[in-house]
Amino acid sequence: MNASKEPVKVLDKGFVRLVDFMGGDQGVVDAARVSYGGVSKGAEADKKLIGYLLKHSHMTPFEHSVFKFHVSAPIFVARQWFRHRFAAYNEVSFRYTEVKDYFYMPEKWRGQDKKNKQASNTAIELDQPALHAMFTKQVDEALATYKKMIEMGVAREMARMVLPVNLYTEFYWTVNARSLMNFVALRADTHAQLEIQAYGEALAKQFKDLMPWTYEAFLRDGWKGENPTIAAEKAALPALQTAAK
């Protein structure tokens, strides 16, 4: 496996860190072949089998390859992330631990998209310095109030109510390859919010490094989204060799 267990930086202070991994492409092949007592027929046949499974939506073998990630993401990203139910989650408790100065501070403010009510637009000119100043002041004040409330004896579980959703949270995320493909398809996509897209892209890279055959098959037949980087990868895939008659 090529993927590093070093944290991969995402946004200004977030990361995705691979903690553990099992199965890989071979895990998928073995799970698929167990149904008829078969064994590996060599790399080329195994890779083809993965392509066949994905193309024909035989998805359960992909559930036998599992990734465990340690993620640091702003709370508003985590809220979107946790909608993905086919995974296991454990998150830091701000009832238990005191919040630190660990907030997502966007580099650039985006405007409201005029056509898509759910989207933003980077082309819209905004007063960036004024927005940065206003936002930083608000975050600083929220953190100061939080600390003051704790000093005054308020429980952490209540004092946290004053904090904004750009606060970073941390969680463990254990996800199988089938569910990860669903996550990447939906979140490494230009329809998703830019911040979660950054995580989707970081995960796509780890997925590619750890399960190159499955990733290739996913690009060919599973991924229907919009993302310039992934679209370029898909375009660069070699043509599939068809068996000579």
Q: Which is nearer to ligand FAD, 26 or 182 (CB)?
A: 182
Span from 32-40, 43-51, 104-112, 185-193 in contact with ligand FAD (CB under 6 A): 185-193
Q: Which is nearer to ligand FAD, 88 or 133 (CB)?
A: 88
Of residues 214, 176, 203, 144, the one with CA closest to residue 16: 203
- Near ligand FAD by CB under 6 A: residue from 75, 162, 186, 231: 186
Residues 176, 60: contact at Cβ < 8 Å? no
CA distance 55 to 49: 10
**CA atoms lying within 13 Å on the CB side of residue 244:** 0
Inter-axis angle of helices 194-210 and 228-235, to 10 degrees? 30
CA distance 57 to 133: 50
- Is 156 annotated in the active site? no
Q: Which of residues 74-93 bind ligand FAD (CB under 6 A)?
A: 83-86
- Dig out the tokens for 181 from the structure: 């493909």
Q: Which is nearer to ligand FAD, 89 or 102 (CB)?
A: 89
Count of residues touching ligand FAD (by CB under 6 A):
9
CB of 183 to ligand FAD, least distance (A): 7
Establish if 179 lies at the interface with ligand FAD (CB under 6 A): yes
Chain residue at closest Cβ approach to ligand FAD = 85
Concatenate the DSSP letters of all residues of 28-80 into one string: HHHHHHHTTT-----HHHHHHHHHHHHHTT--GGGGG-EEEEEEEEEHHHHHH
Given 17, 79, 178, 187, the catalytic residue: 187
Helical H segments across the chain, by residue range: 24-34, 43-55, 75-81, 128-151, 156-159, 177-187, 194-210, 212-217, 228-235
Q: Which is nearer to ligand FAD, 159 or 192 (CB)?
A: 192
Q: Which is nearer to ligand FAD, 84 or 147 (CB)?
A: 84
The DSSP bridge partners found for residue 168 are: 74
Residues 191, 113: contact at Cβ < 8 Å? no
Lay out the site mask for ligand FAD across 130-169 (x = CB under 6 A, - = otherwise).
Answer: ----------------------------------------
Establish if 115 lies at the interface with ligand FAD (CB under 6 A): no
Span from 37-45, 154-162, 184-192, 233-241 in contact with ligand FAD (CB under 6 A): 184-192
Lay out the site mask for ligand FAD across 187-206 (x = CB under 6 A, - = otherwise).
Answer: ----xx--------------
What lies within 8 Å, CB to CB, of 166 at 6+ separation is 74, 75, 76, 103, 104, 105, 139
Catalytic residues: 187
Applying CB under 6 A, the residues found at the interface with ligand FAD are 83-86, 179, 182, 186, 191-192
